[in-house]
Each structure stands twice: as structure tokens, then as C-alpha cells.
């Protein structure tokens, strides 16, 4: 049995990719099951409801198991016992991370907006049928990762995939579909500061130290009014408790592509020159992967 596992703190792509890649492996005659490394966020739950698909079971460890990784290649995002698993395959759209394999593997790493875009192309290459639920999963993940095509990570391959998938999924009004997805994506009602920081937090080992950068996508900055003190306190707490050199949170208004960066830790001083009126605003910044983190790496060296 192959376990298909997305990254820790799962986003919609890492859950949908695990579900979809499992079906691709099954179509090849293999035994596979999707697993998740954490609770689903609201957007992902909404997507699975739309698709009528059950969530993957929780990953309880992969030691001694065969695995496929979807949506990451970093050890820090893998199950803790990944070194004792046999990695048979990878489907990803991030920079190549630090996983190592013992044997040759099948790796599909493309610079596109979403892991599901690669999977869509694999289904086509292998002439495997894309059912309606699979089409809903894939197009939703692509629209989530590319923020409805607005992200600079979006490529023509992502748009072409959604166009075909929308037909299979029988989506008549794509704009309406995107709007509802983004409403679910930016729904943070009732979440605490700690939950917001944790929501989409990624760890980046950097210059021998640990750094974390989270991101909260918002429909308007008003959604986090009055929460800045608590958010900053939570970032500070993580630095203390986890020995981080830097902890940041990107608050991204997806309607204006404007990000306000909150940050704490001993490397904070490196960023202070960019503050204006007590805030660090990153204009035209939607993507952590393509914009936020590359910029931060340049500043934190
Ligand atoms: Mn992704």
C-alpha cells in the first residue's frame, strides 16, 4: 500500500493532490491511499463538500511504508519518520527541497501554479479518466493556489487546466465558482491569533537557523482589525518557545494584492529600515513562494 501524503499544516492543494494522485496510482493498478498531516482548513472542507469526497485519514507515520509526496520536497514538511520510508514518487511545484531517496524515483516537479495542474497533465498523458469529483478537486486546488489566476505563480498551464476541468465538472459560471471559493479561503471568522498564525505556517531552515513565515489571505484588512497586538505576541512566543531566529506573518489582502508583514525574532532588526509609520507594507505581493519569501531571504542574509 502506497501512502500519498501532502505537507504538514495542509492547504487545499496538498489535500486535493493527495486524493487525486491516489486515483492516478490506482488507475495504474497499484494500491494506494491518501493521508493528511493535520486538520483541514475551511476552504479545503468547502472544496471536499463541493466534490462530494471524504477527507483523507490522518497520517500516523510512514516508517517502513512506500510513499508518494505531493506539494513539497522539504524534510521539515514531511512526516517525522520519513527517513524510514521509501519515497517512490514526488509531484510538486515548489523549489526542490532536501528529501533524499535510496532508490530511483518518479519525480514530476514543474514550475506551475499548483500540484494539481501537474496531476491533470499526468491524467491526460496516461489517458486516465477524470471523473467529475476529481475535476472539482483539481480545479479548486488550482484556483486556490493561484488565487483565482491572480497570483504571479499562475502559468498558462494552470489556466488551460482549469478551462478543461471546468467542462468536466460542469461548472457553468466559473466567476461565481471562483468567488465562492475565495469567500471560503478568506473566512477567518472566530479564529484566534494563534490559529491565524498557524493556519498556513511554513518552516524554512535558513543560514543554520529556523525561520517560520505564515500567511493569512483576506478579503479586506478590516478582518484583522484589533488583532495586531495578539498576532505579534504569538509570533514572539513562537520565537521564544521554538528558538526561531525570525517569525513572520503575511497578512494579504487578495483584492488589492497588498501584504502587511508582521514579524518578530532576533533578525527583526534587519527589516526595520522598511517600516513606514510602524508598518511594513509589501505592495503587489500575493505569493509567499514567489514574492514574500524570496524578498525575505535577501533581507535576512
Ligand atoms: Mn501547492
Percentage of the chain lying above the pLDDT 70 cut: 100
Q: Work out the average pLDDT over 179-186.
A: 92
Give 202-231 pLDDT, tens digit per residue. 999 999 999 999 999 999 999 999 999 999
Distance 160 CA to ligand 1 centre (A): 17
Q: What is the rounded distance in angstroms from the CA atom of residue 160 to the CA atom of residue 77?
A: 29
Q: Look over the chain and give the mean of its residue pLDDT values, rounded to a whole number.
A: 96
Distance 113 CA to ligand 1 centre (A): 7
CATH of domain 2-185: 3.90.1640.10
Q: Look at residues 118, 108, 172, 114 and name the one whose alpha carbon lies nearest to residue 140.
A: 114
89 pLDDT tier (thresholds 50, 70, 90): very high
Q: What is the rounded distance in angstroms from the CA atom of residue 229 to the CA atom of residue 117?
A: 39
Protein residues placing their CB within 5 Å of the ion ligand 1:
13, 71, 115, 145
140 pLDDT tier (thresholds 50, 70, 90): very high
Q: pLDDT at position 30, please?
A: 98
**Sequence ranges of the domains in the chain:** 2-185, 193-300
CATH topology match: 2-185 vs 193-300: no
Distance 269 CA to ligand 1 centre (A): 31
Cα R_g (the chain), whole angstroms? 19
Class of domain 193-300: alpha beta
Give 247-286 pLDDT, tens digit per residue. 999 999 998 999 999 999 999 999 999 999 999 999 999 9
Q: pLDDT at position 17, please?
A: 98
198 pLDDT tier (thresholds 50, 70, 90): very high
Amino acid at each position: 500500500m502506497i501512502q500519498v501524503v501532502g505537507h504538514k499544516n495542509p492547504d487545499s492543494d496538498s489535500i486535493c493532490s493527495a486524493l487525486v494522485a491516489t486515483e492516478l496510482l490506482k488507475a495504474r493498478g497499484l494500491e494506494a491511499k491518501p493521508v493528511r498531516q493535520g486538520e483541514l482548513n475551511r476552504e479545503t472542507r468547502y472544496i471536499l463538500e463541493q466534490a462530494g469526497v471524504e477527507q483523507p485519514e490522518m497520517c500516523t507515520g510512514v516508517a517502513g511504508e512506500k510513499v508518494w509526496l505531493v506539494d513539497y520536497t522539504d524534510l521539515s514538511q514531511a512526516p517525522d519518520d520519513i527517513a524510514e520510508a521509501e519515497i517512490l514518487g514526488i509531484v510538486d511545484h515548489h523549489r526542490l527541497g532536501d528529501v533524499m531517496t535510496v532508490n530511483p524515483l518518479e519525480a514530476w516537479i514543474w514550475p506551475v501554479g499548483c500540484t494539481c495542474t501537474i496531476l491533470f497533465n499526468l491524467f491526460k498523458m496516461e489517458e486516465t479518466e477524470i471523473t467529475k469529483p476529481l475535476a472539482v478537486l483539481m480545479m479548486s486546488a488550482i484556483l486556490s493556489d493561484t488565487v483565482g489566476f491572480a497570483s504571479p505563480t499562475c502559468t498558462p498551464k494552470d489556466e488551460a487546466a482549469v478551462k478543461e476541468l471546468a467542462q468536466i465538472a460542469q461548472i457553468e459560471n466559473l466567476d461565481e465558482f471562483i468567488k465562492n471559493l475565495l469567500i471560503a479561503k478568506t473566512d477567518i471568522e472566530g479564529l484566534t491569533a494563534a490559529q491565524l498564525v498557524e493556519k498556513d505556517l511554513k518552516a524554512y531552515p535558513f543560514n543554520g537557523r529556523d525561520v517560520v513565515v505564515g500567511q493569512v489571505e483576506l478579503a479586506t484588512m478590516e478582518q484583522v482589525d484589533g488583532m495586531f497586538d495578539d498576532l505579534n505576541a504569538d509570533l514572539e512566543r513562537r520565537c521564544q518557545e521554538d528558538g526561531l531566529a525570525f517569525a513572520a506573518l503575511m497578512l494579504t489582502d487578495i483584492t488589492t494584492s497588498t501584504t502587511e508583514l508582521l514579524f518578530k525574532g532576533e533578525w527583526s532588526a534587519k527589516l526595520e529600515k522598511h517600516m513606514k509609520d510602524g508598518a511594513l507594507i509589501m505592495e503587489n505581493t500575493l505569493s509567499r513562494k514567489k514574492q514574500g519569501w524570496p524578498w525575505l531571504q535577501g533581507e535576512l542574509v
